[in-house]
Amino acid sequence: MRENNPDEIDLGQLFKLIGDAFNKLFVRIGIIFKNIFHFFILCLNFLRLHVVKFTIAILIGCSIGGYLDYISQPIFRSSMIIEPNFNSAQQLYNNIEFYNQLAQQNDYVTLAEALNINEKEAFNIKRISIESFSDQTQRIKQFSSFISELDSISQKQVDYNDFLQNFNNINARFHKIKIEATSPEIAKKCQKAIVTSIENNEYFTLQKKINDRNIALKDSIILMQQTEIKELQQFYKELKILEAQKPQGSTSINLAESQHNKMSEIELLEQARTLKDEKIELNNEKANTKQTINIISEFPNKGVLTNDFFNKKLVILPIMFSTALLLILMLNLLNTYLKNYDRTRIVKAKLT
């Protein structure tokens, strides 16, 4: 009589357990697909029962929305791209939000005073907004500039993902201001008031004066250093001429031994190149900070007619009416289910 091998018994049990696990998995997957199919059939049946109601709701929404679009005034949109300096972006966002609130509240008197226009022109403004205007390249440059200002220990604790998590609209370099109005020319008239509201601020005016003084000081220092380097270079040239004119056998001057504290000609050339780069960078800074608000792209003389499909009432109202009808029908189904649920519980209680 053959004895069973314990290893064979263990393997058989293992394969049986694996088979049972797969069977249970497939059964559960089948149940899930059955439930999904059942839910899909219930949705189709629900639509079949109420298709006439949804059709009527959509037709009513399209009719009302089309009529409202027909009688409504056209909306023109204008955009301006700016670059705030001296951390003035926060104040700019506050001002734009204030203008938009006045437009939404129909306070055209205050809005006209704030934007230096008349009330009739202010009445045309429907919305004023601002958003950041930056791409991946600009964010990488800002991250590099941010990292360069930190010490070595802080640089190890901050990475690009941390920078992006704390990045918001205020941190962006460029920003886009948009004005939506029923008049295509109104945005251009508001441009000067929006910019001067920041430029006339006492804090930013002081920051600009200090920045101009610092730039002038750096410029004078660089100019003085460039003059000194030119004088040293001229001195080396004259010294070489003198050495070349001396007769043979006379004593020559050895700069490497007698004047160790002076720069060599190569070092002077390197220093001159560094000062030139600093001068170029300073000129760029001077140009970028000439104004508190740099206007990269002005408002156009005439705005563009908006034609956003999903913002039309012809699209919005049918969706709203259909959604409202769906909620009403769902609440009706829920109410019916709750009534049947109470009746079922009462019947079970009586039977028990």
The verdict on 302 and 325 lying in the same domain is no
> Would residue 152 be called left, alpha or beta, if left means φ above 0 and alpha means ψ between -120 and 50 degrees?
alpha
Q: Within a domain: residue 63?
A: yes
The verdict on 36 and 88 lying in the same domain is no
The verdict on 17 and 38 lying in the same domain is yes
Interatomic CA distance for residues 85 and 210, integer angstroms: 13
Neighbours of 204 (CB within 10 A): 19
pLDDT at 1: 46
The verdict on 29 and 160 lying in the same domain is no
What does the pLDDT look like over 250-268, one tens digit per residue? 555 554 444 444 557 778 7
Helix axes 108-115, 186-199, angle to 10 degrees: 70
The verdict on 320 and 346 lying in the same domain is yes
**169 close to 131: Cβ distance less than 8 angstroms:** yes
The verdict on 306 and 160 lying in the same domain is yes
Q: Within a domain: residue 215?
A: no
| Coil vs helix vs strand at 247 | coil
pLDDT at 261: 40
Q: Within a domain: residue 26?
A: yes
Give residue 113's Cα distance to chain centre. Answer: 30
pTM across the whole model: 0.68
pLDDT at 26: 87
In this structure, what are the phi and psi dihedrals at residue 129, rounded to the nearest 5 degrees? -140, 165
The verdict on 27 and 165 lying in the same domain is no
The verdict on 41 and 139 lying in the same domain is no
The verdict on 189 and 104 lying in the same domain is yes
Q: Within a domain: residue 237?
A: no
| Amino acid at residue number 15 | F
Intervals of the chain under pLDDT 70: 1-11, 135, 149, 154-155, 163-167, 243, 246-263, 346-352
The verdict on 317 and 190 lying in the same domain is no
By residue range, what is the domain housing residue 168?
76-201+296-310
The verdict on 101 and 188 lying in the same domain is yes
Cα–Cα nearest to 133, from 96, 81, 88, 183: 81
pLDDT at 74: 86
Q: Within a domain: residue 81?
A: yes
pLDDT at 224: 92
> What's the structural domain count of the chain?
2
pLDDT at 155: 66
